[in-house]
Amino acid sequence: MYQVLYRKYRPKVFSDVVGQEHITTTLAKEIETGKLSHAYLFTGSRGTGKTTCAKILSKAVNCLHPVNGNPCNECEICRGIESGAILDIAEIDAASNNGVDNIRDIREEINFTPASCKYRVYIIDEVHMLSIGAFNALLKTLEEPPAHVKFILATTEVHKLPVTILSRCQRFDFHRVTPEAMAKRMNYIASEEGFTVTEEALSLIARIADGGMRDALSLLDQCIGHGDTVDAELVCSVAGMTGKDHLFSLAAAVNEKNSAKALEIISDLHGKSCDIERLCSDMINHFRNLMIVKTVRSAESLLVCTADELQQYKEQSGKFTLENILYCISLLQEATANIKRGVNRRTEMEMTFIRLSTPSLTADSENLLRRIAELENKMRDGTFVSSPASAVTPTASEKTSEEAAPVSGAEVKVPAPLSAEAPQTSPSQNDAPYPEDESSPAEEELPWAEVMQELTKLNMPLWGILNSSSAVIQGDFVLIKSENPTLKDFIKTGTNARDIKTAVKNVMGRAYRLGLYNASAQQTAAAPQPKKDPLENLIGKARDMGINVDVK
C-alpha cells in the first residue's frame, strides 16, 4: 500500500527533525545525561514536529542502546514501539477523549508498572481540548506521577491551557520551519523517490506551507501525482493559486476611480458562483501584498506568488500611495465583518467598491488624510491635473496674474493687501490694486459660509485647510482671515487660488482678487499714505487687464 510522504519520511531520530535544533539538542542531552523531566509540553503551529518529537522521545527514554541521546531504532523495544506492539506507550487524542472519565482511566493505569519498557509514556495530543474538569483531574497526577510514568503534552493553542498545567511541565516552543530548511528536506526526499523538482517549485511550496513541514510534503505529494517533474506552474495549479487576474483588475478599477468597471467585474464573478466573502478576503490579501511590496526591500520572501505575479505587484504598487493601500485594507476589513452579518453579500461588496472608487462619498478623517496625501504626491511628481468641475475661464486680469510667479509668504499691510496671484518682493514695492486716496476702502461683509459650501464641491482638501476661517471684502480683494500657518503655502498654488476665486464668484456673481488679512496692519491702515502719480495707477490697471504698456 502506498504511504504518503510525510508518514514515510517521518524522522526517527532527533537529528532528522527539520528546523527545531534548539529543542532536539536539549532533549538528546537530557536523555544522554539521564536528567529527565516527568512532564513535557510541546507547543507550536501545525506540522512543526511536536508529535514526531514526542514519539522519538518515548522511544529514546526506553531504548536499550541509545546513541548520543537518540534511539537506536534496532532493539526490540524501538521496533515494538514503532510497530505499535508495545502498549506501554499510549498516544491519546484529547479532542475526542476530553472528559473527566478519560483522565480517571489514566490515573488508574499509571499505578501499574510497565509491561515491557522502563517507562510508561502518555502522549496527549491537542491537550488544550480537555475540559476544565479533566484538567483539574490531571493536576495532581501531572505534578507527582509515579517514577515509571512520563507525560508528553502537545498543543497548537497553548494560551488555552490553565496556568496550573503550564507550571507543572517543561515547556518547549516549536518554531515555524524556514523555507530554506523545508526546500532542503524536500529536495532530499525527491532524490530518494526519483522525481525532479525545480528550485522555483521548492521555494513556492515552502512559502505556501507557511512553516509547516507536513503541509509542504502533502502538497509535494499532490504534485508528483501529476508526473515525475514538478515545476512552479504545476504547484500553482495544484495549490489553487491560478486566476488572480480579477484581483489585479479590481485594484486597477479602484486606482482609476472607475466604480462602473469594478461593479462589472463583481457581477461577472458573482455569475460564476464566486463566494463574495472569499473574494473580499482575497482582496484584503491582495492589498496586503501591495503594502509589502511598497514597504519591504526584498518582498519576495514575504509573499506567496510566482515571479510574474511579483512583477505585477511591483508595477501596481507604484500606482498607489501607502495611505491609499492602508485605507483600502481598512475598508475591506469592515466589509468582511458586514458581509458575515448582512443579508445581501453582493450588495455590501458593491457598496464597498463604490466607496473605494469614489473617495468623496466618505467624509471621515482617515479618508481625508489619504486624499490629501494623494494630492501632495501628485503635486510632488508634477502629475496633478485639476478636476473639470473647478475649471473656469479666467479673465484677462486673472490670466496675467496666474502666469506670474507664486506669492511669497510675507503678509502686507492694509490698504495694500497681499495678492495671491502677483509676485511680491517686499511690502514697499507693492502697487496699489485700487486707486489710492486719503482713506482705505471700507471692509464689507462676505457670506463666507456659502463660499465654503461651494468650495466643498471644488477642492475638499483646501476646504479642510480653510475650516474655521473667515473673510472680508475690501475693494477688489477678498481678504482671508485664518490662524492656520499652512494657508500661505496652499495659497501659493495657482489651482488652490483659482478654486477659492471660483467659489467666491459663484456666490457673489463677480470676480475678486485674493489676499491674506493682516490684523496687526489695521493699526496703521488709517495713516496717510504717500500719493502716487495717477499715471502709474492707470498703467498698473492696464497691465492687470493684459495690456502691455511701455512707458519711457
> Angle of helix 276-295 relative to helix 345-357, nearest 10 degrees?
30
Residue linked to cell 465583518:
337
Query: Per mean pLDDT, which range of 29-33, 123-127, 337-341, 404-408 is the poorest?
Result: 404-408
Are 436 and 537 a contacting pair, CB within 8 Å?
yes
Q: Is 230 helix (H, G, I), strand (E, B) or coil?
A: strand
Are 154 and 42 a contacting pair, CB within 8 Å?
yes
Query: Given this model, what pLDDT does residue 241 score?
Result: 67
Whole-angstrom Cα distance, residue 511 to residue 504?
7
Tell me the per-residue pLDDT of 70-122, one tens digit each, with 9 for 90 and over.
999 899 999 999 888 888 999 999 988 888 988 999 988 898 889 889 999 99
Query: Given this model, what pLDDT does residue 95 score?
Result: 87
Query: Given this model, what pLDDT does residue 433 score?
Result: 38
Question: Strands 470-474, 477-481: parallel, antiparallel or unpaired by DSSP?
Answer: antiparallel
Query: Given this model, what pLDDT does residue 432 score?
Result: 36
Q: Which residues contact 421 (CB under 8 A, 6 or more apart)?
A: 398, 401, 402, 404, 407, 494, 497, 513, 514
The CATH number for 396-544, chosen from 3.30.230.10, 1.10.260.40, 3.30.300.180, 1.10.10.10, is 3.30.300.180
Residue linked to cell 504598487:
317
Radius of gyration for the chain, computed over Cα atoms and rounded to the nearest angstrom: 38
Query: Given this model, what pLDDT does residue 410 score?
Result: 37
User: Does residue 434 have a pLDDT over 70?
Assistant: no
Neighbours of 520 (CB within 10 A): 9
Q: What is the mean pLDDT of residues 46-51?
A: 91
Q: Which residues contact 129 (CB under 8 A, 6 or more apart)?
A: 94, 95, 98
Whole-angstrom Cα distance, residue 20 to residue 480?
68
Are 490 and 465 a contacting pair, CB within 8 Å?
yes
Position 515, amino acid:
G
Handedness of CA 246, 249, 255, 259 (dihedral sign): negative
Q: Is 189 helix (H, G, I), strand (E, B) or coil?
A: helix
Q: What is the mean pLDDT of residues 381-395?
A: 48
Whole-angstrom Cα distance, residue 357 to residue 256?
7
User: Does residue 430 have a pLDDT over 60?
Assistant: no
Whole-angstrom Cα distance, residue 503 to residue 496?
11
H-run or E-run covering 196: strand 196-197
At 281, list the grid cell: 478576503
Tell me the per-residue pLDDT of 449-507, one tens digit each, with 9 for 90 and over.
888 888 777 877 777 777 778 888 887 788 888 777 767 777 766 677 888 888 888 88
Identify which of 541, 544, 543 has the alpha carbon closest to the alpha carbon of residue 435.
Answer: 541
Query: In the structure, what pLDDT confidence band is assigned to residue 376 with cuts at 50, 70 and 90?
Result: low
Instruction: Please name the fold of domain 179-239.
Output: Helicase, Ruva Protein; domain 3 (1.10.8)
Query: Given this model, what pLDDT does residue 56 score?
Result: 94
User: Does residue 59 have a pLDDT over 70?
Assistant: yes
User: Does residue 62 have a pLDDT over 70?
Assistant: yes
Query: Given this model, what pLDDT does residue 460 score?
Result: 75
* Residues pairing with 41 in the sheet: 153, 171
Query: Given this model, what pLDDT does residue 541 score?
Result: 63
Whole-angstrom Cα distance, residue 182 to residue 203?
9
Whole-angstrom Cα distance, residue 395 to residue 546?
9
Query: In the structure, what pLDDT confidence band is assigned to residue 213 with cuts at 50, 70 and 90?
Result: very high
Tell me the per-residue pLDDT of 164-181, one tens digit each, with 9 for 90 and over.
999 999 999 999 998 889
Query: Given this model, what pLDDT does residue 388 score?
Result: 46
User: Does residue 54 have a pLDDT over 90?
Assistant: yes
Query: Given this model, what pLDDT does residue 370 score?
Result: 62
Q: What is the second-level CATH architecture of the domain 245-380? A: Up-down Bundle (1.20)
Query: In the structure, what pLDDT confidence band is assigned to residue 407 with cuts at 50, 70 and 90?
Result: very low
Query: Given this model, what pLDDT does residue 461 score?
Result: 72
H-run or E-run covering 444: strand 443-445
Neighbours of 6 (CB within 10 A): 19
Tell me the per-residue pLDDT of 361-375, one tens digit each, with 9 for 90 and over.
765 666 666 667 666
Q: Domain residue spans in the chain?
A: 5-173, 179-239, 245-380, 396-544
- At the top level of CATH, which class does the domain 5-173 belong to? alpha beta
User: Does residue 536 have a pLDDT over 70?
Assistant: no
User: Does residue 210 have a pLDDT over 70?
Assistant: yes
User: Does residue 265 have a pLDDT over 80?
Assistant: yes
